[in-house]
Amino acid sequence: MITESSATAELVGGLEALATLAPERAVRKAVPFLTRLTDGAAYLAEHVVPLFREVKDADEWYVARRWEGEGDSCSLEIFVWPAGSGTLIHDHTSWGVFRCVVGTTLEKRYERLDDGSRFEHARLKKAWQHAWGPEDGISTVLPGNGGIHRVENPGVIPAISVHLYGPRLGEMDGRDYDPSREYVCDRRPA
């Protein structure tokens, strides 16, 4: 967990305010918020640099630090991406923004080709991909089909990214996709 400090108190207030906004508006406001947060050398020194001590034995990505707002209204999460690790193709039931602050992550974004009417069936096509590094800006996702993606670390050194998520718009955390089988399934919160 992130330790309490005046910066954390400011963070908490900012996240709580974002959680009350509609997803499209929240994402627009979250981008400069995350930029200010992660541009600070103090933030990186306090929360990111110590994570390199933990990454030596990891071979899969993981959430190293997490702060959650009251009632799961929002969250701030710091992900560690060991070399070669990556997520499944997935979406979220919340809005989200993320910035890679150390190393490089590769995001592959997908478009859904079907109308979603068939149970556990989804047809996807890759829409674009982008390598995100500390100077490359911030990626945004909207709930459901507005952010079907996969994030991975294709490099040989660890990467670290900071993610902000708004409130879930349902019980599920999102969905996982397997394009090789045209399959999709719900993902429950951890």
Would the pTM of this model clear 0.75, i.e. be above it? Answer: yes
Residue 4's pLDDT is 44
Residue 54's pLDDT is 61
Domain 6-187 is classified in which CATH homologous superfamily? Jelly Rolls (2.60.120.10)
Band (pLDDT 50/70/90 cuts) for residue 163 is: very high
| Number of continuous H segments (helices) and E segments (strands) in the chain | 3, 11
Can you point out the beta strands (E) in the chain?
62-68, 75-81, 89-90, 96-102, 105-112, 124-132, 139-141, 148-152, 159-165, 174-178, 183-187
56/174: higher pLDDT: 174
Spans of all domains in the chain:
6-187
pLDDT at 11 > cutoff 70: no
Residue 3's pLDDT is 41
Band (pLDDT 50/70/90 cuts) for residue 52 is: low
Q: Say if CB 179 and CB 89 are below 8 A apart.
A: yes
104/8: higher pLDDT: 104
Helix axes 23-39, 6-18, angle to 10 degrees: 160
Residue 182's pLDDT is 96
Selection from 165, 163, 167 nearest residue 47 by Cα: 163
Least confident stretch, 46-50, 79-83, 94-98: 46-50
Q: Say if CB 104 and CB 167 are below 8 A apart.
A: no
